[in-house]
Chain A
Amino acid sequence: DQQVKQNSPSLSVQEGRISILNCDYTNSMFDYFLWYKKYPAEGPTFLISISSIKDKNEDGRFTVFLNKSAKHLSLHIVPSQPGDSAVYFCAASGISNFGNEKLTFGTGTRLTIIP
């Protein structure tokens, strides 16, 4: 049961353009959402987060949008840079199906920035 879904396994974007990565979730108990970025041979690193009481959070070139009614969030990167090429994981926290609080990750989207 994949509660956090990233339906696009990969995405290619021209350098300087906007990258939009999407994430859908099914568990209405999720109340906090995070994006992690992963380079090859490294562990994921935290990028940006958003609480369910907000619909937007911005940090430099990165903005996360949350649409609670659609159970959808997206990460916008603008302008995209070659160093942004990585795998991006969406994650959500809240009461899980196991009855405890934990972070649930999506399957990731591989973003490639084309110079």
Chain B
Amino acid sequence: DSGVTQTPKHLITATGQRVTLRCSPRSGDLSVYWYQQSLDQGLQFLIQYYNGEERAKGNILERFSAQQFPDLHSELNLSSLELGDSALYFCASSERGTANEKLFFGSGTQLSVL
């Protein structure tokens, strides 16, 4: 158990809809990362937050947004969903948010857009 909690584990929705994925980081970790893993793809970095502030941005679509709340949990919002958004979305956390830290991953949210 990594200590990172992601909910829900599975999400099935239709094109055009909006969903929210939730992540609770490991106790004591200030930084949260979101990654997307599509079929046969590696983990694509989406966005990183540190103590409530956005720290780094990757290949995140404009239809996607995220935030980190004062209690340090994070939410990833995906809107106007398309079939291609179907993927496994991972949240990870680390203590200081520096690039050389090892990340602790949640078990992911499997999103299926039909």
Binding site for B on A (CB under 8 A): 2, 4, 6, 9, 32, 34, 36, 41-46, 49, 51, 89, 91, 93-94, 96, 98, 100-108
> Is B103 a contact partner of A107 (Cβ separation < 8 A)?
no
Which size class do B's interface residues fall under? 20 to 34
B108 at the interface (CB under 8 A from A): yes
B42 contacts A100, CB within 8 Å? no
Interface on B for A, CB 8 Å cutoff?
2, 4, 33, 35, 40-45, 48, 55-58, 90, 92, 98-100, 102-108
The A/B interface has a contact count, at CB < 8 Å, of 67
A6–B105 CA distance with the chains assembled, in angstroms: 21
Residues on A with beta carbons closer than 8 Å to the beta carbon of B108: 43
Assess whether B43 is in contact with A105, with CB atoms less than 8 Å apart: yes
What are the residues of chain B within 8 A of A42 when measuring CB–CB? 107
Q: Which residues of B contact A104 (CB under 8 A)?
A: 45
Chain B residues positioned under 8 Å from A89 (CB to CB): 42-43
C-alpha spacing A18/B85, complex, angstroms: 38
Q: Which secondary structure dominates where chain A touches chain B? A: strand
B2 & A108 in contact (Cβ 8 Å cutoff) = no
Are B42 and A101 in contact, with the CB atoms below 8 A? Answer: no
28 inter-chain pairs at a CB distance below 8 angstroms, sorted by A residue, are A2-B42, A4-B42, A9-B40, A32-B100, A34-B102, A36-B105, A41-B107, A43-B2, A43-B90, A44-B103, A44-B105, A45-B105, A46-B102, A49-B100, A91-B43, A101-B56, A101-B98, A102-B45, A102-B48, A103-B33, A103-B45, A103-B99, A103-B103, A104-B45, A105-B42, A106-B42, A107-B40, A107-B41
